[in-house]
Amino acid sequence: MEELVKRIQQDGDVLGDGVLKVDSLINHQVDPELMEKMGHLFAEVFANRKITKVVTIESSGIAPAIFCARQLGVPMIFARKSKSLTMNEELLTASVYSFTKQVTSTISISRKFLNESDRVLIIDDFLANGQAAKGLIELCQQAGASVEGIGILIEKSFQDGRQLLEEMGLEVVSLARIASLKEGEVTFLEADA
Protein backbone atom coordinates (compact mmCIF):
# COMPACT_ATOMS: atom_id res chain seq x y z
CA MET A 1 0.00 0.00 0.00
CA GLU A 2 1.73 3.08 -1.29
CA GLU A 3 0.37 5.40 1.38
CA LEU A 4 1.64 3.21 4.23
CA VAL A 5 5.08 2.90 2.63
CA LYS A 6 5.25 6.70 2.26
CA ARG A 7 4.25 7.22 5.89
CA ILE A 8 6.90 4.77 7.08
CA GLN A 9 9.51 6.62 4.99
CA GLN A 10 8.31 9.94 6.35
CA ASP A 11 7.55 9.17 10.01
CA GLY A 12 9.24 5.85 10.85
CA ASP A 13 12.44 5.64 12.87
CA VAL A 14 14.88 2.78 12.63
CA LEU A 15 16.14 1.72 16.03
CA GLY A 16 19.59 0.13 16.20
CA ASP A 17 18.39 -3.40 16.88
CA GLY A 18 16.40 -3.97 13.68
CA VAL A 19 13.23 -2.46 15.10
CA LEU A 20 11.06 0.06 13.29
CA LYS A 21 9.43 2.70 15.45
CA VAL A 22 6.09 3.83 14.04
CA ASP A 23 4.52 5.13 17.21
CA SER A 24 3.21 8.31 15.59
CA LEU A 25 0.81 6.37 13.34
CA ILE A 26 0.37 2.78 14.58
CA ASN A 27 1.74 1.77 17.98
CA HIS A 28 0.98 4.71 20.27
CA GLN A 29 -0.56 7.66 18.46
CA VAL A 30 -2.91 6.19 15.87
CA ASP A 31 -3.87 7.72 12.51
CA PRO A 32 -7.57 6.82 12.19
CA GLU A 33 -7.84 7.72 8.49
CA LEU A 34 -4.89 5.55 7.54
CA MET A 35 -6.19 2.74 9.79
CA GLU A 36 -9.59 2.93 8.14
CA LYS A 37 -8.06 2.69 4.66
CA MET A 38 -5.90 -0.28 5.68
CA GLY A 39 -8.82 -2.07 7.36
CA HIS A 40 -10.96 -1.54 4.27
CA LEU A 41 -8.20 -2.80 1.99
CA PHE A 42 -8.02 -6.08 3.96
CA ALA A 43 -11.81 -6.36 3.71
CA GLU A 44 -11.55 -5.93 -0.08
CA VAL A 45 -8.68 -8.41 -0.50
CA PHE A 46 -10.43 -11.13 1.54
CA ALA A 47 -13.96 -10.30 0.33
CA ASN A 48 -14.54 -13.70 -1.30
CA ARG A 49 -13.46 -15.76 1.75
CA LYS A 50 -16.84 -15.59 3.53
CA ILE A 51 -15.18 -14.29 6.71
CA THR A 52 -17.34 -14.55 9.84
CA LYS A 53 -14.89 -13.15 12.45
CA VAL A 54 -11.83 -10.92 12.42
CA VAL A 55 -9.32 -11.97 15.09
CA THR A 56 -6.36 -9.95 16.38
CA ILE A 57 -4.24 -9.58 19.51
CA GLU A 58 -4.15 -6.62 21.86
CA SER A 59 -3.15 -3.89 21.59
CA SER A 60 -1.93 -2.51 18.26
CA GLY A 61 -3.83 -4.98 16.07
CA ILE A 62 -7.16 -3.71 17.34
CA ALA A 63 -7.36 -0.51 15.28
CA PRO A 64 -6.97 -2.03 11.78
CA ALA A 65 -8.99 -5.09 12.81
CA ILE A 66 -12.00 -3.06 13.90
CA PHE A 67 -12.16 -1.12 10.61
CA CYS A 68 -11.83 -4.34 8.65
CA ALA A 69 -14.54 -6.08 10.69
CA ARG A 70 -16.89 -3.11 10.34
CA GLN A 71 -16.45 -3.17 6.57
CA LEU A 72 -17.05 -6.93 6.39
CA GLY A 73 -20.03 -6.62 8.76
CA VAL A 74 -18.68 -9.20 11.23
CA PRO A 75 -17.48 -9.12 14.87
CA MET A 76 -13.88 -8.44 15.82
CA ILE A 77 -12.28 -10.45 18.63
CA PHE A 78 -8.97 -9.54 20.25
CA ALA A 79 -6.99 -12.14 22.13
CA ARG A 80 -6.04 -11.04 25.62
CA LYS A 81 -2.46 -11.15 26.83
CA SER A 82 -3.47 -11.22 30.46
CA LYS A 83 -6.56 -12.77 31.95
CA SER A 84 -9.33 -10.29 32.61
CA LEU A 85 -11.42 -10.56 35.80
CA THR A 86 -14.51 -10.96 33.65
CA MET A 87 -13.09 -13.92 31.70
CA ASN A 88 -14.80 -16.51 33.85
CA GLU A 89 -15.89 -18.88 31.09
CA GLU A 90 -14.05 -21.65 29.30
CA LEU A 91 -10.97 -20.25 27.54
CA LEU A 92 -8.99 -21.12 24.44
CA THR A 93 -5.32 -20.55 25.32
CA ALA A 94 -1.95 -20.67 23.58
CA SER A 95 1.64 -19.88 24.55
CA VAL A 96 3.42 -17.19 22.55
CA TYR A 97 7.17 -16.80 22.71
CA SER A 98 8.47 -13.35 21.88
CA PHE A 99 11.98 -13.38 20.44
CA THR A 100 12.08 -9.61 20.87
CA LYS A 101 11.23 -9.67 24.55
CA GLN A 102 12.48 -13.23 25.24
CA VAL A 103 9.41 -14.07 27.30
CA THR A 104 6.60 -16.56 26.87
CA SER A 105 3.10 -15.29 27.49
CA THR A 106 -0.30 -16.94 27.45
CA ILE A 107 -2.91 -15.49 25.12
CA SER A 108 -6.59 -16.31 25.40
CA ILE A 109 -10.03 -15.91 23.85
CA SER A 110 -13.30 -17.00 25.47
CA ARG A 111 -14.49 -20.27 23.95
CA LYS A 112 -17.95 -18.84 23.35
CA PHE A 113 -16.72 -16.35 20.74
CA LEU A 114 -15.28 -18.86 18.24
CA ASN A 115 -16.74 -22.11 16.96
CA GLU A 116 -16.35 -24.68 14.18
CA SER A 117 -18.53 -22.74 11.74
CA ASP A 118 -16.28 -19.67 11.91
CA ARG A 119 -14.11 -18.54 9.00
CA VAL A 120 -11.45 -16.29 10.50
CA LEU A 121 -9.34 -13.48 9.12
CA ILE A 122 -6.34 -12.74 11.36
CA ILE A 123 -5.07 -9.14 11.41
CA ASP A 124 -1.97 -7.78 13.16
CA ASP A 125 0.26 -4.74 13.02
CA PHE A 126 3.69 -6.40 12.74
CA LEU A 127 4.84 -9.75 11.43
CA ALA A 128 8.34 -10.55 12.69
CA ASN A 129 8.91 -14.16 13.69
CA GLY A 130 5.23 -15.00 13.40
CA GLN A 131 4.80 -16.23 16.95
CA ALA A 132 1.82 -14.01 17.73
CA ALA A 133 0.04 -15.12 14.53
CA LYS A 134 0.90 -18.76 15.28
CA GLY A 135 -0.69 -18.39 18.73
CA LEU A 136 -3.84 -16.92 17.18
CA ILE A 137 -3.98 -19.79 14.67
CA GLU A 138 -3.76 -22.27 17.55
CA LEU A 139 -6.72 -20.61 19.29
CA CYS A 140 -8.75 -20.90 16.06
CA GLN A 141 -7.75 -24.56 15.68
CA GLN A 142 -8.83 -25.32 19.25
CA ALA A 143 -12.26 -23.89 18.42
CA GLY A 144 -12.41 -25.87 15.15
CA ALA A 145 -12.59 -22.59 13.19
CA SER A 146 -10.84 -22.25 9.83
CA VAL A 147 -8.23 -19.55 9.22
CA GLU A 148 -8.94 -18.00 5.82
CA GLY A 149 -6.08 -15.54 5.68
CA ILE A 150 -3.70 -13.25 7.50
CA GLY A 151 -3.53 -9.49 7.01
CA ILE A 152 -0.44 -7.66 8.25
CA LEU A 153 0.32 -3.93 8.22
CA ILE A 154 4.13 -4.17 8.34
CA GLU A 155 6.04 -7.35 7.57
CA LYS A 156 9.72 -7.57 8.46
CA SER A 157 10.63 -9.83 5.57
CA PHE A 158 14.15 -10.41 6.90
CA GLN A 159 12.64 -12.41 9.77
CA ASP A 160 10.96 -15.74 9.17
CA GLY A 161 7.32 -15.13 10.16
CA ARG A 162 5.97 -15.16 6.63
CA GLN A 163 7.72 -18.41 5.78
CA LEU A 164 6.32 -20.05 8.93
CA LEU A 165 2.76 -19.04 8.04
CA GLU A 166 3.05 -19.94 4.35
CA GLU A 167 4.40 -23.36 5.29
CA MET A 168 1.13 -23.81 7.18
CA GLY A 169 -0.65 -23.23 3.86
CA LEU A 170 -1.93 -19.78 4.80
CA GLU A 171 -2.22 -16.72 2.59
CA VAL A 172 -0.36 -13.72 4.03
CA VAL A 173 -1.20 -10.24 2.74
CA SER A 174 1.17 -7.51 3.97
CA LEU A 175 0.61 -3.83 3.18
CA ALA A 176 4.31 -2.98 3.60
CA ARG A 177 7.20 -5.44 3.33
CA ILE A 178 10.53 -4.42 4.76
CA ALA A 179 13.63 -5.97 3.25
CA SER A 180 16.07 -4.45 5.70
CA LEU A 181 16.50 -1.89 8.45
CA LYS A 182 20.23 -1.38 8.15
CA GLU A 183 22.16 1.81 8.96
CA GLY A 184 19.04 3.77 9.78
CA GLU A 185 17.55 3.10 6.32
CA VAL A 186 14.32 1.29 5.52
CA THR A 187 14.33 -0.68 2.28
CA PHE A 188 11.16 -2.20 0.95
CA LEU A 189 10.05 -5.19 -1.09
CA GLU A 190 6.93 -4.95 -3.24
CA ALA A 191 3.88 -5.15 -0.96
CA ASP A 192 1.02 -7.65 -1.46
CA ALA A 193 -1.70 -4.99 -1.68
In terms of CB distance, is 100 or 141 closer to ligand G4P?
Answer: 100
Q: Which is nearest to 66 in space by CA: 123, 146, 133, 106?
A: 123
- Could you tell me the smallest distance in angstroms from the CB atom of residue 32 to ligand G4P? 17
In terms of CB distance, is 16 or 73 closer to ligand G4P?
Answer: 16
Q: Which residues are annotated as a binding site for 5-phospho-alpha-D-ribose 1-diphosphate?
A: 128-132
DSSP β-bridge partners for residue 188: 178
- Could you tell me the smallest distance in angstroms from the CB atom of residue 143 to ligand G4P? 20
Q: Which is nearest to 54 in space by CA: 123, 109, 101, 105?
A: 123
Residues that bind ligand G4P in the complex, under the rule CB under 6 A: 19-22, 27, 59-60, 98-100, 125-132, 156, 161
* Helix 32-45 / helix 62-72 crossing angle, nearest 10 deg: 50
In terms of CB distance, is 100 or 115 closer to ligand G4P?
Answer: 100
Q: Which residues are annotated as a binding site?
A: 20, 27, 128-132, 156
Q: Which residues are annotated as a binding site for xanthine?
A: 20, 27, 156
| C-alpha to C-alpha distance for 71 and 140, rounded to whole angstroms | 22
What pairing do the DSSP bridges indicate for beta strands 91-98 and 103-110? Answer: antiparallel
Tell me, what DSSP letter sits at residue 117?
Answer: T
In terms of CB distance, is 128 or 145 closer to ligand G4P?
Answer: 128
Q: Is the dihedral of CA 93, 172, 52, 141 positive or negative?
A: negative
- Could you tell me the smallest distance in angstroms from the CB atom of residue 72 to ligand G4P? 21
- Could you tell me the smallest distance in angstroms from the CB atom of residue 97 to ligand G4P? 7
